[in-house]
Amino acid sequence: MIKIRVFFLLMVVLALVVSGAICEPSSPGAMKCIDFEDLALGTAWSVGTSLHPSGYMVTGKEFQHYGWWTWDGYADVDTSGLAGGSGQDVRVNNINLDFNFGGDVKDLSFRFGEYGGNLNIRINGYFKSFDNFADINGTTFGSVNVSVTNGLGSDKGEVKLTGGIITSFAVGGQELWIDDVCPSTLIIY
C-alpha cells in the first residue's frame, strides 16, 4: 500500500512539473535590471529626491562639475533611446543617481549614451570625475574592476563592474543617458 501511495505522489509531482505548476527555483540572490519602464514618462529627480524604479531606491545626489559641486541638476525619464537600451531611459544632467539595491551586490552593468560634459562615478566610496567612460576602462575602485565598451565621447556603450562586492554605486553626468542598470547577484550573508 505504501508503494502505491509513493508511486501516486511521484506521478502527481511529475504532472505538476510537466504542466509548469512547479518550476525550477531561480538562482539564489538573482536580481532584476532597472529599465525605468515602470516610471511615468517625464518623472524627474532632483538632488535629494528618491524614486523606486523596478523596486530599488534611486536618489539624486550632488554632481561634481569640473572640480566644483552643484546641487541644481536633474534627471528625467524619456524615450530618446540615447542610452542604447529599449523603451524608456533616463537623461542625467548635472546630477548623480545613487542606486540602493537593498544590500551588497556582485557585478553590475549599465548602458549609457554620453554626449558632452564630464561624468562622475562612485563605487564603494571611491569617487572619480572624468571626461569620457573610456577614461575609466581598466581601472579598479577598491576591489571592483571597470570595463567599458565604447565611451570615447558622443557615443553609446556599456560599463561593467566585476570582481568584487559592490556596497554602493552612483553615476552621473552632464549630457548623459543611462538604461538597463543590472546588478547580477544580491550577496546573502
Residue 135 domain-assigned (yes or no): yes
The position carrying cell 505538476 is: 16
Question: How many residues make up the chain in this entry?
Answer: 189
CA pair distance 8, 130, nearest whole angstrom: 65
In a domain, 12, yes or no: no
Domain ranges, residue 37: 28-186
Question: What pLDDT is recorded for position 30?
Answer: 72
* CATH number for the domain that contains residue 68: 2.60.120
Asked if the structure places residue 78 within a domain, the reply is: yes
Q: Integer distance in angstroms from the first to the last C-alpha of the chain?
A: 45
Q: What pLDDT sits at residue 20?
A: 35
Residue 29 has a pLDDT of 66
Per-10-residue mean pLDDT, the chain, length 189: 47 38 43 96 98 97 96 98 96 98 97 98 98 98 97 97 97 98 93
pLDDT of residue 140: 97
For residue 90, the model assigns a pLDDT of: 98
pLDDT tens per residue across span 27-68:
456 799 999 999 999 999 999 999 999 999 999 999 999 999
**66 part of a folded domain:** yes
Q: Is residue 119 within 8 Å of 131, Cβ to Cβ?
A: yes
Q: Report yes or no on 16 lying in a domain.
A: no
The domain total for the chain is: 1
Instruction: Outline where DSSP puts E strands in 15-154.
Output: 44-46, 50-51, 57-61, 63-65, 68-70, 74-78, 89-93, 95-100, 105-114, 119-123, 126-130, 140-141, 144-149
Identify whether 5 is part of a domain: no
- Determine, yes or no, domain membership for 21: no
- Is 177 domain-assigned? yes
